[in-house]
């Protein structure tokens, strides 16, 4: 089991550019969660999917953020256009009921 | 909506000291409770979890936590910390046994000094 795989590990981009973060959940897990971690706000839920369907996106900060899960093995989080205040570590996690949640290694995003 | 409070922002301990990190949650129904650890620059790793049964839960690396329903608490303990326990610790809760999101506390940074 390779765990939850996120890419890229680090991303540095200029303000205004489009950024796409990727996540491959653990096979067989039917829920996927995107979190953002900052010093000021801690770990915030952005959006989550059950069986590839978005359930709650109320944590997505603005229309600049969008997330998709086209199939059970892949999800993307896109920021367009990016701004310096989007700089954070973005974590993806997957789950299959009460067995627990597994987090990916995160993507450290820096927008300059 | 549920919330989680971790009252200690930063804890500094000497090696071999005992540790207790506080966690309180607000939710009137059945909850599942978790403690995660995040070593510097790394992702979150599960230390232990409580779903039901014995309220004293033992996890990895010698950590344990006790669920006290009347106090809405799930404090993390370790009898003797090591330098390698230096990390950030997050308490989290979710409701229902289904696939609902974890709600995290703000975290407690633990620094263990020699």
pLDDT tens-digit readout, A7-61 = 999 999 999 999 999 999 999 999 999 999 998 889 999 999 999 999 999 999 8
Residue B52 makes CB contacts below 8 A (sequence gap 6+) with: none
B50 contacts chain A (CB < 8 A): no
pLDDT along chain B (114 residues), means of 10: 89 97 90 93 92 94 95 97 97 81 94 94
Cβ(B4)–Cβ(B94) below 8 Å: no
**Residue A93 and residue B42: Cβ atoms within 8 Å?**
no
Pairing of strands A31-38, B44-50: unpaired
Cβ(A47)–Cβ(A61) below 8 Å: no
Min distance B104 CA to chain A CA atoms (Å): 6
B51 contacts chain A (CB < 8 A): yes
Question: Which of A95, A103, A106 is facing B99, going by the closest CB pair?
Answer: A95
| pLDDT of B56 | 97
**Residue A95 and residue B42: Cβ atoms within 8 Å?**
no
| pLDDT of B29 | 80
Torsion of CA A5, A11, A15, A16, to 10 degrees: -50
Task: Give the residue with greater pLDDT, A111 vs A101.
Answer: A111
**Residue A97 and residue B107: Cβ atoms within 8 Å?**
no
**Residue B46 and residue A100: Cβ atoms within 8 Å?**
yes
| pLDDT of B30 | 83
Compute and round to an integer the Cα radius of gyration of chain A.
Answer: 13
Q: What residues of B are in contact with residue A105 (Cβ under 8 Å)?
A: 42-43
Min distance A15 CA to chain B CA atoms (Å): 24
**Residue B44 and residue A56: Cβ atoms within 8 Å?**
no
Question: Which of B44, B99, B101 is facing A45, going by the closest CB pair?
Answer: B101
Min distance B87 CA to chain A CA atoms (Å): 14
| pLDDT of B82 | 97
**Residue A43 and residue B101: Cβ atoms within 8 Å?**
no
Cβ(B32)–Cβ(B98) below 8 Å: no
- Give CA–CA dist B47/B45, Å, rounded: 6
Question: Which of B34, B43, B101 is facing A91, going by the closest CB pair?
Answer: B43
């Amino acid at each position: 089991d390779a765990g939850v795989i996120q890419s890229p590990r680090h991303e540095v981009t200029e303000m205004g550019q489009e950024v796409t973060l990727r996540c491959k959940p653990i096979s067989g897990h039917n829920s996927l969660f995107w979190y953002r971690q900052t010093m000021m706000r801690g770990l915030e839920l952005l959006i989550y999917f059950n069986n590839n369907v978005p359930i709650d996106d109320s944590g997505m900060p603005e229309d600049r953020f969008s997330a998709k899960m086209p199939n059970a093995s892949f999800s993307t989080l896109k920021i367009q256009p990016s701004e310096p205040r989007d700089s954070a570590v973005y974590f993806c996690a997957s789950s299959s009921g009460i067995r627990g949640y597994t987090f990916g290694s995160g993507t450290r995003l820096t927008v300059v | 909506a549920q919330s989680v409070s971790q009252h200690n922002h930063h804890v500094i301990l000497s090696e071999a000291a005992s540790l207790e990190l506080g966690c309180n949650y607000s939710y009137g129904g059945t909850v599942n409770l978790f403690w995660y650890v995040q070593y510097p620059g790394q992702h979150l790793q599960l230390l232990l979890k409580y779903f039901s049964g014995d309220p004293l839960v033992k996890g990895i690396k010698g950590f344990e936590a006790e669920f006290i329903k009347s106090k809405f608490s799930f404090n993390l303990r370790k009898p003797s910390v090591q330098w390698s326990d230096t990390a950030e610790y997050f308490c989290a809760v979710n409701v229902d046994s289904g696939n609902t999101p974890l709600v995290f506390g703000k975290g407690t940074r633990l620094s263990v000094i020699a």
